Amino acid sequence: MWIARLGGIMNGKSVSTLPLFDAQEGIWLAQRFEGSRRLYSAGQYIDIHGPIDTSVFERALRQAVAETEILHMRFVEDGDKVSQIVVPALEWDLPIIDLQDPHGLRALSEHGALGAEGDPRAVAEAWMRADARREIGTQSGRLFSYALFRLAPDHYIWYQSYDHLLMDAYGCSLVGRRVAAIYTALLHGRPYAPAGHASLHELMEQESAYRASEQYAHDRRYWHEHFADRPDLAGIPGHGSAAGDEANGTGGADGADGADESGGTGGTGGTGGILREAGHLPPSAVAALRATAARAQVSWPRIVVAAAAALTARMTGSDEAVLSLPVAGRMSDQARRTPCTMANILPFRLPVTAGMTFLDLAQDAGREIESLLDHQGFRGERLRRELNWPSGDRWHFGPSVNVMPMAGGILRFGEHRGIVRDLSSRRVEDFGVMVSGWSADDGMRISLEANSTMYDRDWIQASHRSFLTLLGQAAADPQLRLSELDVLAGVERSRVVEGGSGAARPVSAGSVVEAFEG
């Protein structure tokens, strides 16, 4: 068992324990089910374009760790119960790896970045992917990992990775911001502002109060009514379910576009892995997308969700899309400023008909997301148990859409900018769209991930191309009807619409597929 036994580590001492957050309990159960922790991690690296004072950086990082309570927690079992205790004197190190040194480059290549020798960035990215996949030894009590790479005198990469029991992607971003702020203050000889974190006890009291509140009962009624019909999650014609044989893996470094990680990041629950296709929406298209968002009076991430819903409905032959949306799960100001894990995954459904304009769809998506966020306190895993939906071994509510505005964002380390890149691992049951925030130089990074037991390289390449095309067309002219959006590449027409070797599903009258094909 990867969680220590209570009696075995306390040596008879009386200790104060805390229960798990609801989000932690769901992750713990998932990790036990999978028999592995490596499938559930939160991480990122920050590409720092400028010289770094490594001693000041380590001081900043140690200060941030010292004030982040969740990083001092250790998880222990006592019978069938799991709790967490504080380990105040936790020891950890910050490897500082000089990839300009040929010996260091070669040693790192041999350690975890084989095949990348000679290219410092490729070596660093390969090492980070390997580190994010490994099991962190919980007997040491430490469930996080850091490294600082020196690629050139004016180019550094800072890597951070956490067990998902400690941190979600939102919390990871808070740590990144905090380290940047402390480093900048120390570098200029200024005092840094207090962290402003809430204690874990305070957050748990808020969570307990919510579960006993009328708001909780209201949220529960909302979800039960909204999905009382338990909509079909049959998926794309010709691509079978991966329930019980799902693919899981590491998000991977934001390196070369179109990287295929099938097999290399395969999950322990099945024989498959993750296929990934990545690329960028150019800055001009991003500007048009943001203008469309302003016109629809919604945020740009909601435009992306609308586009994903349109493509999903198109692929499934349905007049609605049912998706899985990760949300922060933080309902108070204290929770929003405290690094920990509280994220939630909830179902999202959106009617998609051929006669709608994309602007109509975006506005509908904005309203539906607003409603979802109003009720985000109710846990998705609890909804699944209570509705017995999805059935079988599926945990998610259809294809996922994960928009991370902080990833791709800019932090300042002194006078130098750092670009945030996501490295989290996640469960991929079907397929999912991952969108990072944008920069003026790179545009918006868009990745498509798919379960390799269900899809192949041709499918993911064509679908990724289709999604970029759809976003570009919709942003350029949001008054286009969905029936006018020409997003079919030749290979997708044969593999997606015809449904491969699987049996065709019936298409309802007026559906997106019928209108596109008619």
Work out the mean pLDDT of the chain and round it to a whole number. Answer: 82
Highest mean pLDDT among 16-25, 73-82, 100-109, 144-153: 144-153
Q: Facing residues of 28 across strands?
A: none
**Token digits of residue 365:** 């998506």
pLDDT digits (tens, 9 = 90+) for 231-248: 988 678 777 655 444 344
End-of-domain residue from the set 129, 164, 187: 187
DSSP string, 480-509: SBGGG-----HHHIIIIIS-TTSPPPP--T
Domains contained in the chain, number: 2
Confirm whether 230 is domain-assigned.
Answer: no
Residue 67 lies in a domain: yes
3-state helix, strand, coil in the chain (%, to 5): 40, 20, 40
If one compares 426 and 14, the residue with the highest pLDDT of the two is 426
- pLDDT above 90: percentage of residues in the chain: 57
DSSP assignment of 93-128 equals ---EEETTSHHHHHHHHHHH-TT-TT-HHHHHHHHH
What pLDDT, on a 0 to 100 scale, did the predictor assign at position 491?
36
How distant is the alpha carbon of residue 376 from its chain centre?
17
Tens digit of each residue's pLDDT (9 = 90 or more) over 110-166: 655 545 556 888 889 988 988 887 766 544 557 899 999 999 999 999 999 999 999
Same domain, 396 and 510: yes
CATH code at position 349: 3.30.559.30
Q: In terms of Cα–Cα distance, which of 401, 444, 435, 404 is closest to 308? A: 401
| pLDDT of the residue at 408 | 61
**Same domain, yes or no: 328 and 470:** yes
| Domain end (from 156, 187, 218) | 187
**Do residues 170 and 285 share a domain?**
no
Residue at token pair 């892995």: 273
Check whether 409 has a pLDDT greater than 70: yes
Same domain? For 299 and 159 the reply is: no
More confident residue, 56 or 88: 56
Residue 390: asked if its preceding bond is cis (omega within 30°), the reply is: yes
Closest CA relative to residue 401, chosen from 365, 434, 358, 356: 434
How would you write 256-321 as a 3-class SS string? CCCCCCCCCCCCCCCCCCEEEEEEEECHHHHHHHHHHHHHHCCCHHHHHHHHHHHHHHHHHCCCEE
pLDDT of residue 120: 87
Per-residue HEC secondary structure of 398-423 comes to CCEEEEECCCCCEEEECCEEEEEEEC
Quickly state the pLDDT bin for 507 (edges 50, 70, 90): very low
pLDDT at 438: 64
pLDDT tens-digit map of 277-333: 999 888 888 899 999 999 889 899 999 999 999 999 988 889 999 999 999 999 999
**239 in any annotated domain:** no
In the block, tokens 């027409």 appear at: 493
Banded model confidence at residue 441, pLDDT cuts 50, 70, 90: low
290 shares a domain with 154: no
Quick check: 221 pLDDT over 90? Answer: yes
Domain boundary among 187, 204, 229: 187
Q: Which are the contacts of 91, defined by CB distance < 8 A and separation ≥ 6?
A: 142
User: Could you tell me whether strands 41-49 and 96-98 are parallel, antiparallel, or unpaired per DSSP bridges?
Assistant: unpaired
Name the pLDDT band for 32 (thresholds 50, 70, 90).
Answer: confident
pLDDT score, position 402: 93
Q: Provide the pLDDT confidence category of residue 255 given band limits of 50, 70 and 90.
A: very low
Q: How far is CA 380 from the centre of its chain?
A: 16
User: Does residue 497 lie in a domain region?
Assistant: yes
Residue 377 has a CB neighbour count (10 Å cut-off) of 23
Residue 247: inside a domain: no
Least confident stretch, 46-50, 350-354, 486-490: 486-490
Contacts with 299 (C-beta within 8 Å, 6 or more apart), sequence order: 293, 366
pLDDT-derived band at 492 (thresholds 50, 70, 90) equals very low
Per-residue pLDDT, 406: 66
Residue 174 belongs to domain spanning: 4-187
Separation CA 418–CA 407 (nearest Å)? 11
420 domain residue, yes or no: no
Is residue 133 assigned to a domain? yes
pLDDT (0 to 100) of residue 131: 84
Q: Specify the DSSP element, H or E, that contains 350.
A: strand 344-351
CATH number for the domain spanning 133: value is 3.30.559.10
Does residue 321 share a domain with residue 177?
A: no
Please indicate, yes or no, if residue 417 is contained in any of the structural domains. no
